[in-house]
Amino acid sequence: MAFWTRSILLFVCCLPFLSADDISGMTVQDDTCMDMLKDFANLSAAFTFCAVSHARPILICQECVSSYLSVVEVYDDITKLESTAGHKCESELVNLDRLQVFNQGYNYIKKLWENAHCDNCFVKDRATGKPTTQLTDLVMEILNASSVYEACVKKYHNATAKPDLAVCENCIGNYKTINDIYVKNKGTIEFCMDVVDLMNNTRNEWSGDLGCCNDRRKPEITMILIASGVGVLPFIFYALTYFLTPKKVHAVIERKRWNGESNGVSKSPEIHITPPENTED
């Protein structure tokens, strides 16, 4: 389901780009508004192109930030500007048909950006609160550390060896640097998808492809000894209570009942009632 929604959205937002020539053939009512719509179509197409082409490895935030910002800008213009006094462009483009191409296209871009938490990677503009194209110091630090680490791996890497001991030995310092920065900050802020993906790849490479992370298991003799001791304790406990606790019995109270033969009207068929034979169970 989610897959289809996304495909449709992609299709819808690429539509103006694919058929850009046809737009000129439309009956133009208001040039300013239609020009802006055309701008929006081109810019959103550019963003979509950028996003999809940077899907693997994920670099959407870093690479597409400028085109995202321009999409937002033109969208804001369309929704806020008035072509003539009292006449908003928005009213010509939005809420006119059930397809809502303009809104859908914008929502798709917005959602993609937000899902990737891209805003978190960029320094925010003090005045407007909007992201700028400037990466934050923390992200820069991680990216720098990553490139140092990449360089190191490239230098020592031997494709046939696994674990690649040379890399493991020489690059562990670099790996630890980048890992520590990430782990330290992970609890406090939500990293953008670029950084998360970078880390995932780095870690996969380190633990998986390079096999540098497989010596974590230790014998742990002490723990196993304690655990087996604790495991035996209940049996000792139950055995002790079984042998040391005296059996307790309770006296049965006899209910006072009428035992006499009852003739006549009160006579009822005799039935067989047995007391429970086994109370020991």
Partner 1 sequence: MQNSSPLERPPEYHIVVRPKDFIRSLSLLSERSVSQGSIHGEPSETHLPDPIILPPKESRITKTVVTGTRDVLSAKYESLDYDVCENKVLLEEVRTSTKDFRARKLVSRWFIFLLIGIVTAMVAVIVDISIDKLAIIKYGIIKDALDKCVTEDCLFEPYLIWMGLNMGFVLIGSFMVAFIEPVAAGSGIPQVKCYLNGVKIPRLVRFKTLFVKAAGVVCTVVGGLTGGKEGPMIHAGSVIAAGISQGKSTSIRTDFRVFQYFREDHEKRDFVSGGAAAGVAAAFGAPIGGVLFSLEEGSSFWNQSLTWRIFFASSVSVFSLNLMLSIYNGVPGQLTFYGLLNFGHFDTLNYELFELILYMIMGAIGGVLGSFFIHVNYKLIVFRMRYIRVRWLKVVEACLVAAVTATVGMIMVYLVNDCRPLGTDPTEHPIQMYCGDGEYNAVAALWLQNPEASVKALFHDEPGSQSAQTLIVFTLSYLALSIWTYGISVSAGIFIPCLLAGAGWGRLTGKLLGHIFPDASWIDPGKYALVGAAAQLGGVVRMTISLTIILIEATGNINFGLPLMITLMTAKWVGDYFTEAFYDLHIQLQGVPLLPWEPPAMSIELNALQVMNYPVLAFAPIESLRTIVQALSSETYNGFPIVDATTNHPLSKAKDGLPTIGKLRGLILRSQLIVLVQHRAYVETGYSNEGSHLPLAEFRNSYPRYCEIKDIYIPEEEMDYTVDLRPYMNPSPYTVSDTTSLPRIFRLFRALGLRHLVVTTDTNEVVGMLTRKDIARYRDKAHGSIGVDELYWSDKL
The nearest distance, CB 211 to partner 1, in angstroms, is: 9
Residue 135 phi, psi dihedral angles, 5° rounding: -70, 150
Burial tier of 59 (Cβ tally within 10 Å: 0-12, 13-18, 19+):
middle
Per-position x/- string for 41-80, each x denoting binding to partner 1 as judged by CB under 8 A, each - no binding = ----------------------------------------
Over its C-alpha atoms, the chain yields an Rg (Å, rounded) of: 38
SS3 135: strand
Q: Number of residues in contact with partner 1, rule: CB under 8 A?
A: 61
Q: Which is nearer to partner 1, 160 or 259 (CB)?
A: 259
The nearest distance, CB 158 to partner 1, in angstroms, is: 20
Of 230-269, binders to partner 1 (CB under 8 A) are 230-231, 233-234, 237-238, 241-242, 245, 247-266, 268-269
The nearest distance, CB 11 to partner 1, in angstroms, is: 24
Per-position x/- string for 128-167, each x denoting binding to partner 1 as judged by CB under 8 A, each - no binding = ----------------------------------------
Distance CA 139, CA 132 (A): 14
Closest C-alpha to 61, from 129, 6, 112, 130: 112
Residue 213 interacts with partner 1 (CB under 8 A)? Answer: yes
Phi/psi zone of residue 17: left (φ > 0), alpha (ψ -120 to 50 degrees), beta? alpha
Q: Which is nearer to partner 1, 31 or 280 (CB)?
A: 280
Angle of helix 2-18 relative to helix 31-53, nearest 10 degrees?
A: 130
- CB-CB contact of 153 with 159 (8 Å): no
SS3 165: helix
The nearest distance, CB 96 to partner 1, in angstroms, is: 33
The nearest distance, CB 23 to partner 1, in angstroms, is: 39
SS3 154: helix
Residue 115 interacts with partner 1 (CB under 8 A)? Answer: no
- Going 165 to 169 to 175 to 176, the CA torsion angle's sign is positive
Per-position x/- string for 173-212, each x denoting binding to partner 1 as judged by CB under 8 A, each - no binding = ------x-------------------xx--xx-xxx----
Q: Which is nearer to partner 1, 34 or 112 (CB)?
A: 112
- CB-CB contact of 192 with 139 (8 Å): yes
The nearest distance, CB 171 to partner 1, in angstroms, is: 13
SS3 124: strand
Q: Which is nearer to partner 1, 35 or 220 (CB)?
A: 220
Beta strand extents in 53-99 (DSSP E only):
82-84, 87-88
Q: Which residues of this chain interact with partner 1, rule CB under 8 A?
A: 179, 199-200, 203-204, 206-208, 213, 216-220, 222-223, 226-227, 230-231, 233-234, 237-238, 241-242, 245, 247-266, 268-281
